[in-house]
Amino acid sequence: MGLANLYLEKLSALEKRYEELTSRLTLPETLADPSLYAKLTKELASLEDSVKAYREYKSSLKQLKENKEMLEVEEDDELRQLIKEEIKLLEEKIERLEKELPLLLLPKDPNDEKNVIVEIRAGAGGEEAALFAAELMRMYQRYAERKGWKVEVLDINETGLGGVKEVVLRIEGKGAYSRLKYESGVHRVQRVPVTEAGGRIHTSTATVAVLPEVDEVEVEIRPEDLKIETMRASGHGGQHVNRTESAVRITHIPTGIVVSCQNERSQHQNKATALRILRAKLYELYQREQQEKIQKERRSQVGTGERSEKIRTYNFPQNRVTDHRIGLTVYNLPEVLDGDLDEFIDALIAHFRAEALKQEEQALSLAA
């Protein structure tokens, strides 16, 4: 029992900073500066969980020490029994806090509270892959509904049989990125397609990309770096899509990233939506490049999975869903496709936190 000294030093420094911020927020000069006040309030909020748990830990250690001292001098058997029970509860609490505190010290992903752009594309498998992509779209829509999040279809390219070649969703909700970032990668389906007369099981894929939505100030896009083209929209939209040049395709010349949008009624709306998607893609690209410079072995955001990686298989004949990153298998495929994803997401968060903690402990041991 007992936290490593380096953890205790970090926690003590955080508590000191927390107290300093609390004092500064009451000063007249801070109250007179709205931007400074907002900045300090945000920093204070980010420290709150760690400091609260650290203070609880210190208080529990103090109570444990006092109870053990009381036990040494107490002669009444009934009181001794009560003290022993209290000691047991305190030891359990301290053990729990010693597991929680290092996790609270892990660097927070600055994107975790952001809304997300989810891009789903049919992969290998033709029409069957498009049908699977449509099911994944519905799965994330249903998951968002369960969380009370708002979903907006920014762009969609449908097939005649009800499939989706590609779709871009915007999901707005507190902590949306913190949970959905683990969905990036290749999703694989194994089943007998509706188009298969022989009853053979086929394997098809769809790719999912989850990007944090960013503000204009976070990613600057220069007009001279853009090639903007307009065209007639295509798809199931009635006469309107066939008669107007409302669809927009934007190419970001320096990176070669191409974004198109045809879902909105006007060219102006489609351009604005395409720029939102482009901004999210550029942010992810710049962030990944920065992370590769810092740590070469990290090829993407922690826990999001490489795009080429097959992260999950949905096996219909066996009613089975398997996440290959953590080896978790469940046998409730219809529920998962209906948005029951929390078991996977909770397990993935725990897994990647444990991995990050392992790296942090290695770094601390090297520093010592």
Q: Model confidence over 327-341: pLDDT tens digits? A: 999 999 999 999 999
- pLDDT > 70 fraction of the chain, expressed in percent and rounded: 87
Residue 234 has a pLDDT of 64
Least confident of 111-120, 192-201, 276-285, 308-317: 192-201
Instruction: Scan for tokens 């909770």, then name that residue.
Output: 346
Nearest to 268 by CA among 228, 237, 218: 228
Residue 303 has pLDDT above 70, yes or no: no
Residue 108 has pLDDT above 60, yes or no: yes
Euclidean distance between the first and final Cα of the chain, in Å? 19
DSSP character at residue 264: S
Question: Whole-angstrom Cα distance, residue 332 to residue 43?
Answer: 42
| Domain pair 5-104 / 116-354, same fold | no
Strand order, beta sheet including 257-261: 226-231, 247-252, 257-261
Pairing of the two strands 202-212 and 185-191? antiparallel
Convert the pLDDT of each residue in 120-150 to its tens digit.
Answer: 999 888 889 999 999 999 999 999 999 999 9
Question: Whole-angstrom Cα distance, residue 241 to residue 232?
Answer: 7
Mean pLDDT estimate for the chain: 84
Residue 355 has a pLDDT of 84
Residue 78 has pLDDT above 60, yes or no: yes
Q: What ranges make up the beta strands (E) of the chain?
A: 116-122, 150-158, 164-172, 185-191, 202-212, 226-231, 247-252, 257-261, 310-315, 320-323, 328-330
Pairing of the two strands 320-323 and 310-315? antiparallel
Convert the pLDDT of each residue in 251-301 to its tens digit.
Answer: 898 888 888 888 777 888 888 888 888 888 888 887 777 666 645 433 343
Convert the pLDDT of each residue in 338-363 to its tens digit.
Answer: 999 999 999 998 888 888 887 777 76
Residue 46 has pLDDT above 60, yes or no: yes
Number of residues in the chain: 368
Residue 271 has a pLDDT of 86
Better-predicted residue by pLDDT, 1 or 16: 16
Average pLDDT, integer, range 316-331: 94
Residue 44 has pLDDT above 80, yes or no: yes
Rounded to the nearest angstrom, the gap between the alpha carbon of residue 285 and the centroid of all alpha carbons in its chain is 17
Residue 365 has a pLDDT of 65
Question: Whole-angstrom Cα distance, residue 252 to residue 220?
Answer: 12
What fold characterizes domain 116-354? Alpha-Beta Plaits (3.30.70)
Better-predicted residue by pLDDT, 112 or 17: 17
The residue extents of the domains of the chain are 5-104, 116-354
Question: Whole-angstrom Cα distance, residue 309 to residue 286?
Answer: 21
- pLDDT > 90 fraction of the chain, expressed in percent and rounded: 43
Residue 319 has pLDDT above 70, yes or no: yes
Q: What CATH architecture is 5-104?
A: Up-down Bundle (1.20)
Mapped onto helix, strand or coil, the DSSP state of residue 44 is helix
Residue 287 has a pLDDT of 77
Question: Whole-angstrom Cα distance, residue 241 to residue 260?
Answer: 15
In contact, 90 and 151? CB cutoff 8 Å: no
In contact, 115 and 173? CB cutoff 8 Å: yes
Query: What's the 3-state SS for 281-328?
Result: HHHHHHHHHHHHHHCCCCCCCCCCCCCCCEEEEEECCCCEEEECCCCE
Average pLDDT, integer, range 308-317: 86
Residue 304 has pLDDT above 50, yes or no: no
